[in-house]
Amino acid sequence: MRVFVASLATETNTFSPIPTDRAAFEGAFYAPPGTHPETPTLCSAPLVAARRRARTDGFTLVEGTCAWAEPAGLVARDAYEGLRDEILGQIRAALPVDVVLFGLHGAMVAHGHDDCEGDLLARARAIAGPRAVIGIELDPHCHLTPAMVAAVDLLVTFKEVPHTDFAARADDLVDLALRTARGEIRPAVSVVDCRAIANFMTMRQPGRGLVDRIKAMEGRDGVLSVSVVHGFPAADVPEVGTKVVVVTDGRPEAGRALAARLAHEILDFGADRMPSMPDPEAAVAEARRIDGVGPVVLADRWDNPGGGVAGDSTFLVEELLRNPDLPAAAGALWDPVAVSFCRSAGPGITMPLRFGGKAAATSGRPIDATVTVTAVTDDLVVPFQESRVSLGPAAAVRIGSLDVVLASGRAQTFHPAVFTELGIDLAAKRVVVVKSASHFHAAFAPIARAVIFVNCGGPYPPDAAKIPYTRIRRPIQPLDPHPGLADFP
Ligand SMILES: [Zn+2]
């Protein structure tokens, strides 16, 4: 058996001012054949999973290119097409192939391509042939499109938000694909379209219970896999929205019925699907009132670089500067210019510094302060589950009782190492501000007195009902009254 695996992934926020070019992939993660490390990045997990199975199962694994760009704005057409054609050429050279696996994000939008993954998969199908098993792993914050579904035999998404299970779901995908290629199962993919933008978190109810029930369904009654596509609201493309995917062993009607039942459950979540989110002033006041050990973590949910925005907004830093008695830390703010100034000055130097508040009107005002540089590094590397994430050259600066981490690379604050690698003791802080919507949670929760999600108003569009879509397929909730479930495609 011959198995090909590659990965091409980013999440495109079409409202973001930050362009995504070839250098954005090469700077974030670019591994041509044979160079992928043993640890997976988020979306390249199928390659690592396939390697492990190749050792035990004895098939021939052909590794293609894996590339990831930190989420940002529209992808340059030549960047997408160049990477696409690189991977398609690798499939052509690997023929004949029995299995083709892709680690995708599923929300890549390029100039001239609304549906990059649909385009890539249709072309891969044409090359690999109708009998090859094509399987994909997606981030649940994707746009599942008819072209994608038409081209594949298998699809699984991460189940957890935050995505703590990307490696486990890659194992699921590889296992199902091998069983399909051996003729042990005949997967049928059934999709129901919720006709809603209905994202939720799985670290809290009611999403937690739904995921636990879904997991218990797999492997029983012919159900091979169940995935919820939450959708990625920050993109003005037709297929934005929430969908439920059930893969059965040759039972598409039963799969569709189960998907419809789960879709109704998700629609019934109502306002509980997301936590309440105070503004910066109310959030800091609330943090002062909470007793206990360890810092209160304030998550700047709408300035999360993982959602394609800059991660340089200053609203929470301004609020902390209005509370100078409060021992606090904030990070990581994206500001390569300020980092370069700090690295030139070096640790121990006190100097005037302007930082943050640059990328967009929604970033707020830059901070002008006299800071002491407390630490610098050539490369701030932090863990996220099995992955290692680089924030590039970085610096820590102190203003009174506030420590701020500035980074040259855009990445969300996945882990306390963002602070501790630069010598900041979080146990001594009352408040820690992180730039992350949810992926911080697994690593910060064990040290946090409490977690508060903060609404700073943007730049990620905080209210789906108010996003200025022009191209989304209507009707869809919450822009319109709910039109009922729809078959898909
Ligand atoms: Zn995601």
CA of residue 191 to ligand 1 center, whole Å: 19
The pLDDT of residue 369 is 98
Whether the predicted pLDDT of 326 surpasses 90: yes
Reported as a pLDDT band with limits 50, 70 and 90, residue 458 is confident
The pLDDT of residue 245 is 98
Reported as a pLDDT band with limits 50, 70 and 90, residue 271 is confident
Reported as a pLDDT band with limits 50, 70 and 90, residue 275 is confident
Q: Which residues of 370-380 are buried (b: 16+ CB within 10 A; e: fewer)?
A: ebbbbbbbeeb
Amino acid at 482: H
CA of residue 475 to ligand 1 center, whole Å: 24
Question: Token pair for residue 397?
Answer: 């600066």
Upper half-sphere CA count for residue 122 (Cβ side, 13 Å): 10
The rounded Cα 161 to chain-centroid distance in angstroms is 9
CA of residue 253 to ligand 1 center, whole Å: 29
CA of residue 332 to ligand 1 center, whole Å: 19
CA of residue 161 to ligand 1 center, whole Å: 7
CA of residue 296 to ligand 1 center, whole Å: 24
Find all residues with CB under 8 Å of 264, minimum gap 6, and list them: 485
CA of residue 244 to ligand 1 center, whole Å: 15
The pLDDT of residue 289 is 97
Q: Where are the beta strands (DSSP E) in 126-231?
A: 133-138, 154-157, 187-193, 223-229
CA of residue 12 to ligand 1 center, whole Å: 11
Secondary structure (3-state) at 164: coil
| C-alpha radius of gyration, the chain, whole number | 22
Short-list 403, 289, 284, 404, CA closest to 335: 404
387-416: pLDDT as tens digits: 899 999 999 999 999 999 999 999 999 999
The pLDDT of residue 14 is 97
Q: Is the pTM of this model over 0.85?
A: yes
Whether the predicted pLDDT of 273 surpasses 90: no
CA of residue 54 to ligand 1 center, whole Å: 28
Whether the predicted pLDDT of 487 surpasses 90: no
Mean pLDDT of 10-24: 96
Which of these ranges, 25-34, 122-131, 272-281, 346-355, has the smallest mean pLDDT? 272-281
Mean pLDDT of 44-60: 97
CA–CA separation, 86 and 107 (whole Å): 20
Whether the predicted pLDDT of 274 surpasses 90: no
Cα–Cα–Cα angle for 11, 455, 367, nearest 5°?
90
Q: In sequence order, which ranges of 223-270 are alpha helices (DSSP H)?
A: 252-267
CA of residue 140 to ligand 1 center, whole Å: 6
82-111: pLDDT as tens digits: 999 999 999 999 999 999 999 999 999 999
Short-list 423, 411, 419, 412, CA closest to 448: 419
CA of residue 158 to ligand 1 center, whole Å: 8
CA of residue 118 to ligand 1 center, whole Å: 18
CA end-to-end distance (rounded Å), the chain: 32
For residue 217, report the phi and psi dihedrals to the nearest 5 degrees.
-75, -25
Question: Token pair for residue 27?
Answer: 């700077």
> What does the mean pLDDT of the chain come to?
97
- Burial class (CB within 10 angstroms; exposed 0-12, middle 13-18, buried 19+) of 130: exposed
Upper half-sphere CA count for residue 241 (Cβ side, 13 Å): 30
Reported as a pLDDT band with limits 50, 70 and 90, residue 305 is very high
Amino acid at 184: E
Find all residues with CB under 8 Å of 484, minimum gap 6, and list them: 195
Reported as a pLDDT band with limits 50, 70 and 90, residue 240 is very high
CA of residue 349 to ligand 1 center, whole Å: 39
The strand pair at 402-407 and 394-399 is best described as antiparallel
Q: Which residue is associated with the tokens 């999440």?
A: 11
CA–CA separation, 180 and 133 (whole Å): 7
The pLDDT of residue 143 is 98
CA of residue 370 to ligand 1 center, whole Å: 37
CA of residue 176 to ligand 1 center, whole Å: 22
Do the Cβ atoms of 331 and 434 come closer than 8 Å? yes
CA of residue 17 to ligand 1 center, whole Å: 20
CA of residue 163 to ligand 1 center, whole Å: 7
The pLDDT of residue 488 is 86
Mean pLDDT of 26-55: 96
Whether the predicted pLDDT of 314 surpasses 90: yes
CA–CA separation, 216 and 8 (whole Å): 30
Question: Token pair for residue 449?
Answer: 């007195």
Do the Cβ atoms of 11 and 71 come closer than 8 Å? yes
Amino acid at 130: P
Do the Cβ atoms of 191 and 159 come closer than 8 Å? no
